[in-house]
Amino acid sequence: MSKSIVSTAVAGALLVLASQAAVAAPDWGKVAKRDINVFHAGVAPIEWMTKKSDHSGSAGMRKGESCAGCHEEKGTLNFNFKRLADKELEPKGAPKTMMFPVSVQAAYDAANLYIRLTFKAPSGGADKGDKDNEVKATLLFADAKVPQADQYGCWQTCHTDARTMPGADDKKTKYTAAGAYELIQWASKGNKVSDGSVTTERKMSGGGTGAKAEASKSGDTYTVTFTRKNPGEGKAIPFGVAIHADHAQGRFHHVSLGYKLGIGADGDVKATKQ
């Protein structure tokens, strides 16, 4: 074999090894965990949150306070879930489990951002409209043009007139008044991964994150690992988590408040550099 062929073969092998190293999964044992509680919000969209007669915390929001800053307390959320159980905020009936924790880990390298969610998906939902998927896990990332994304998180996509809200048009999806959210989702049937967006409407495809996902289940615990394009080191991005459990659809998910993901920057969840 000629020296040039040997050199080419060696170079090719090195490129393969370099490529494998670039996409190697993070060592999750070295990545910090941050529990984020997700909860059923019922029919409490952005219009409800910003109306003083409905939500006493709206005054604080106008002063720049965040939802998490007011409601996150000693590792839990200080919500009055009786308003859901009494059907004031959920006319169809609330799920048996109003709130549960999701363990969030994040890591990044030059090319990718990795986010790992670990949770026990509860049963006992009041709606089982998604017959195909027992569980769906979703992440939303807000851009700088979304109004008050630091405060409201994903609530800027949730409106009174959106599908599954009482009396709303079943064809009208989530939307924003300004700005955009990147949306990535894993669905249990066929391990389907969606890479979409929320702007004037929600789209479950056509996104630019290059999202991938791997999922496993051990007993009653799911682990979903998302891989997406790195938005850029030094950024702190508003993000939120949503879990559709027990075949839930639409508003019958459990959602998080708004948090910041720090990529080489400060945040509620800090991504570890790999």
Segment 16-32, tens digit of pLDDT: 333 333 457 899 999 99
| 100 has a pLDDT exceeding 90 | yes
Q: Are 256 and 153 in contact (CB under 8 A)?
A: yes
Residue 15 confidence (pLDDT): 37
CATH number at residue 241: 2.60.40.1190
What's the average model confidence in pLDDT over 195-221?
A: 98
Instruction: Please state, rounded to an integer, the average pLDDT across all residues of the chain.
Output: 91
Least confident of 9-18, 75-84, 127-136, 192-201: 9-18
* Chain centroid offset of residue 150 CA: 14
| 48 has a pLDDT exceeding 60 | yes
Q: In total, how many domains does the chain have?
A: 1
In a domain, 204, yes or no: yes
In a domain, 7, yes or no: no
For residue 79, the enclosing domain spans 28-273
In a domain, 139, yes or no: yes
**Rounded-to-integer distance, Cα 53 and Cα 58, Å:** 9
In a domain, 13, yes or no: no
Residue 79 confidence (pLDDT): 92
What's the average model confidence in pLDDT over 218-237?
A: 97
What's the average model confidence in pLDDT over 100-113?
A: 98
* Chain centroid offset of residue 84 CA: 22
Least confident of 35-49, 52-66, 186-200: 52-66
In a domain, 67, yes or no: yes
In a domain, 73, yes or no: yes
In a domain, 14, yes or no: no
Burial annotation 148-187 (CB, 10 A radius, 16+ → b, else e) = bbbbbbbbbbbbeebebbeebeeeebbbbeeebbbbbbbb
In a domain, 8, yes or no: no
What's the average model confidence in pLDDT over 53-66?
A: 90
